[in-house]
Amino acid sequence: MCQEDPGNDMCSDEKSEFTSSCTDGAVVQECKGDAIQCAIAKEQARQWCEFATKKNALQAKGEEAVTGGKHPEGHPAKDIESKGVDFSAVIKKDDLMGGGSCPPDIPVPVRIAGGMVVWIRFSAICTQAEWLGRLLVGLTAIKCLGIVFVKGA
């Protein structure tokens, strides 16, 4: 096609470019290249600028709630600093894997080897597994504190 019509826009080596900025709802755009791509990019930039700058009532209420503005009666975050929160009754400390004790070694009969018994010994790794569990709980607690108290985490 380019050999037949070298002047065609599709045959040029010039790349398409699009720049846009949104300030106080005003969109400034510059586009070079394909007209259809420019029209699509301009419309997307216009819609984004409109979305980013104009706040409707629902967005305003959402931002107010997130930033610590007015909370309606019964909202969990209302007066949270003055009340404090006690999670000790909510957090279960039960161990689902045996209550913190090491499981017993398990005998596995092997019929191929003439009735020999192979033992799966948990006692050999229990101490390491217990410390690994404590380490993982500690790392999880630190990460949770980071999520709650560090902005942008």
Domain boundaries, the chain: 94-149
- Helices (H) and strands (E) counted in the chain, each on its own, are 4, 4
Which residue spans within the chain are E strands per DSSP?
A: 17-23, 26-32, 106-110, 116-120
Confidence of residue 135 (pLDDT cuts 50, 70, 90): very high
pLDDT of residue 48: 84
- Alpha carbon distance 22, 29 (integer Å): 9
Residue 137 scores a pLDDT above 70: yes
Cα distance between residue 105 and residue 120, in whole Å: 6
CA distance 5 to 70: 66
The whole-angstrom separation of Cα 64 and Cα 55 is 12
Q: Average pLDDT in the 44-68 region?
A: 78
Asked whether the beta carbons of 20 and 27 are under 8 A apart, the reply is yes
Give the CA dihedral 137, 142, 145, 151, nearest 10 degrees: -140
Lowest-pLDDT range of 31-40, 41-50, 66-75: 66-75
pLDDT score for 127: 82
* Per-residue pLDDT tens digits for 3-31: 787 777 667 666 778 888 887 767 788 88
| Predicted local distance difference test score (pLDDT) of residue 84 | 62
Distance of CA 73 to the CA centre of its chain: 30
What pLDDT is attached to residue 139?
95
Cα separation, 85 vs 148, in Å, equals 13
pLDDT of residue 144: 92
For the segment 70-120, what is each residue's pLDDT rounded down to a tens digit? 666 676 666 665 556 677 777 766 665 556 677 888 888 887 767 788 888
